[in-house]
A and B are shown apart, each in its own frame.
Chain A
């Protein structure tokens, strides 16, 4: 038996779990996943004085009947048998609380947020949700307003770290011109189990461009996923397949056998292609026209193909450097160049979506990963810059930064390190490939009002935007 197996065996045993719990390592909760909303009541609290907020209409659009949030004011408190002051308590488990802080512009108003969250965090069910809706600090005209809006980000991140049993806290920053249906699209994702591993994350909304027929465009959409033979890429392909998309799965020729399996599973088509070859973009576009018609266009491209060649910088040669930057970054540029040519048959459609996989390493850095972090931070830079260029064509470009996800790749990390990675997240566990896939399908959805964002799917593993 290998040492790793021995250690993980002990950690998984009943005795091991009991010892770990006594040592202060609480057990990870099985997260609520999929379309399901929380089972308990959803409370809505509003920072006053409010007027014309989108939140009530957005909740109504989701069919949510929210109950008023309890507020922890001195008058509302009771005194228990030992004479201690107790905040007001919800009668049962709370599924979620939505705090509408769009009106918050003065420091004093933040007290209202505290007063609404205090009773709620105690009552939250496992995998419950705390969602704060606010305006974007970048659009504030007054300094204090900007400070207050940014303060909400700090509250959100800290609450995320305090919540237990799979509950998460996220912030939704609406923009000038956002609509209730756009907010509903984000709230649906954030309330549902699809956002299970998204925690401590601001969602920054950009209004959808006009002229986009937003809904019910998921069936039959043509989606290209690179790196789709295994792990996260395969999960992405499966998730799009479940939505009824026509999925083109791409991976290197040597991964052809698992790639064919994924293609057949999702009733899509397989393209064996090394994305670093000079004509990779041409071959993707040609495959699309040769399978879906000469006038076919891609509705979404997901750049998931990526490699690791970890070495401490002191030992890092030019081959390991180049391989990672080539696959993870340069190849995407060349492919995008071809697919973004508006006259290109089989290219990206107007109103289409690009989603690129970044990594939390790109934000936080990682020992032995200068090449990888360079490539993934580069992806984030690309997402921001490219998104601004394509507004006229109504093309949105976003990214997803996975944290520690349980895949074949991360299974090769030594067991102790692996356990540390898991425990370092607010959710005390690694994510699953499907968690990343859910975020990508969300960002690739034509109704999602986000552009130029990189969404972390890391269970709040590290700091980041």
Chain B
């Protein structure tokens, strides 16, 4: 390990996140990722530069976009000889890309790289049914007009119903909100606590925008200059009026207000070997110290779908010898307000930490004033693959402002019962 180099976060850029069907309704994933890369190139003077690699991805992806990232690079101001690859790990996509590329820089395979993610809920791929798809493939293979006619005769009206992508787990048929509702009930998370967290997210994000915090993190796109889901004037009272949309019965507590909205957007992070960055007089903000991915068996109901980051946190802290309280900032992705609250509750629970995580003592509680201090996904929106890069870029800036050695913890849950947790430290 002694020979590893230092990989640093130089800076980041994203476009403001849009509401589904909003400002980016007619923008494609390639358009948005290109815009995010172009803003990054402009901020750091990378136009015409050949970078080591760009790794990015999308969760909702058209089949024609199999080479999404490379296509975006070719459309961007970067040198066309910059290689690129697509990566996808649901909502952890761009954070996974950042961890991978940071490691490749550390072992000496790259000097500079861009990690990113993009998603469009507005321009989502709509597919034909499996039966129709198989019929069309046979039609393509049919040689004579008669064969073709016979093949087409198999098509039934019901085959023509398009398949729209759903945020549903394939193995359970439940969507993410329904899964979280089960966990929310299990941990006894109240409606009031969720609405308070959601209101704080909006107020914190609005304050960050007003203070100019995003001046060097975001480049406007298609006339959108701030995150579209942001409601600066929301309040616990207003949120309390919304009807639950996930969960059953009188205790259902998850509403559209304390769940992330479907969104469009893209985010990127510039990573480099420390010497490379310094020789080019580029900022050296922070570095990814370590990261851990966990997955849980949510299918049999042994664990909540979005609880994997808690497992990853336990393993990561165990490996690095850090306590949960050794951080200046905590960035817990707000898939739902309840996801964050379940994570905090699990960290604090002696029983859970002992019985499920196998720890001698609970990880403990954290200072809530250090949590998502500039808002998170509830207010900013959550274009799935872009969220990790959004969080990493903002956190790196916050840590650099706080000073050398300050530390942050990122926790991102992902579909499939997975979760990625990373430790970031200011250089």
Contact = CB atoms under 8 A, between A and B. Distances in A.
Nearest to B220: A256
A292 B280 CA distance: 7
A85 interface: no
Interface in A257-274: 257, 259-261, 263-265, 267-274
Contacts of A256: 39, 218-220, 225
Contact of B47 (A254, A267, A272, A290): A267
Given A260-B38, A263-B42, A267-B47, A291 B218 contact: no
A256 B38 CA distance: 11
Interface string A243-265: 00010000001111101110111
Contacts of B214: 253
Contacts of B39: 256-257, 260, 270
B278 to A, nearest CB: 10
The size bracket of the interface on B is 20 to 34
Given A253-B220, A257-B221, A290 B282 contact: yes
B215 interface: yes
B281 A269 contact: no
Nearest to A289: B281
A293 interface: yes
* Of B42, B221, B225, most A-chain CB atoms within 10 Å: B42
Contacts of A273: 215
B38 A261 contact: yes
Given A257-B220, A264-B77, A269-B42, A292 B48 contact: no
B380 interface: no
* Of A255, A257, A296, most B-chain CB atoms within 10 Å: A257
B54 to A, nearest CB: 15
A292 B45 CA distance: 10
B413 interface: no
Contact of A296 (B43, B215, B281): B281
Contacts of A274: 212
A131 to B, nearest CB: 39
Contacts of A255: 220
B35 A272 contact: no
A294 interface: yes
Interface residues of A, number: 28
A277 interface: yes
Contacts of A265: 47
A369 B38 CA distance: 38
A270 B43 contact: yes
Contacts of A270: 39, 42-43, 219
Contacts of B216: 271-272
Interface string A37-72: 000000000000000000000000000000000000
B85 interface: no
Interface string A377-417: 00000000000000000000000000000000000000000
A257 B35 contact: yes
B281 A268 contact: no
A264 B281 contact: no
Contacts of B44: 269, 291
B397 to A, nearest CB: 12
B219 A291 contact: no
A259 B281 contact: no
Contacts of A267: 45, 47-48
Contacts of B43: 260, 263, 269-270
Contact of A291 (B35, B45, B47, B48): B45
B301 interface: no
B35 A264 contact: no
A253 B225 contact: yes
Contact of A254 (B38, B42, B220, B222): B220
A271 B217 CA distance: 11
Contacts of A277: 212
Contacts of A257: 35, 39, 219-222
Interface string B211-235: 0101110111110010000000000
B228 to A, nearest CB: 14
A272 B213 CA distance: 11
A277 B41 CA distance: 25
A270 B225 CA distance: 16
A91 B48 CA distance: 51
B21 interface: no
B283 interface: yes
A220 to B, nearest CB: 13
Contacts of B42: 259-261, 263-264, 269-270
Contacts of B48: 267
A256 B43 CA distance: 10
B281 A292 contact: yes
A19 to B, nearest CB: 41
Contacts of A259: 42, 219
B286 to A, nearest CB: 15
B225 A254 contact: yes
A443 to B, nearest CB: 25
Nearest to B48: A267
Interface in B38-68: 38-39, 41-45, 47-48
Contact of B281 (A253, A260, A290): A290
A291 B46 CA distance: 11
Nearest to B221: A257
A290 B221 contact: no
B212 A290 contact: no
Interface in A442-460: none
* Of B218, B220, B221, most A-chain CB atoms within 10 Å: B220
Contacts of B47: 263-265, 267-268
Given A253-B225, A257-B219, A260-B219, A268 B45 contact: yes
Contacts of A290: 281-283
Nearest to A295: B281
A7 to B, nearest CB: 29
Contacts of B41: 260, 263-264
Contacts of A264: 38, 41-42, 47, 77
Given A256-B219, A291-B44, 5 more contacts: A256-B218, A257-B220, A260-B42, A270-B43, A290-B281
Q: Would you list the 6 A-B pairs with minimal beta carbon distance, nearest first? A: A260-B42, A264-B77, A263-B42, A270-B42, A264-B47, A256-B219
Interface of A: 246, 253-257, 259-261, 263-265, 267-274, 277, 289-294, 296
Interface of B: 35, 38-39, 41-45, 47-48, 77, 212, 214-216, 218-222, 225, 281-283
10 contacts: A254-B225, A257-B222, A260-B39, A263-B41, A263-B42, A263-B43, A264-B38, A267-B45, A272-B219, A294-B281
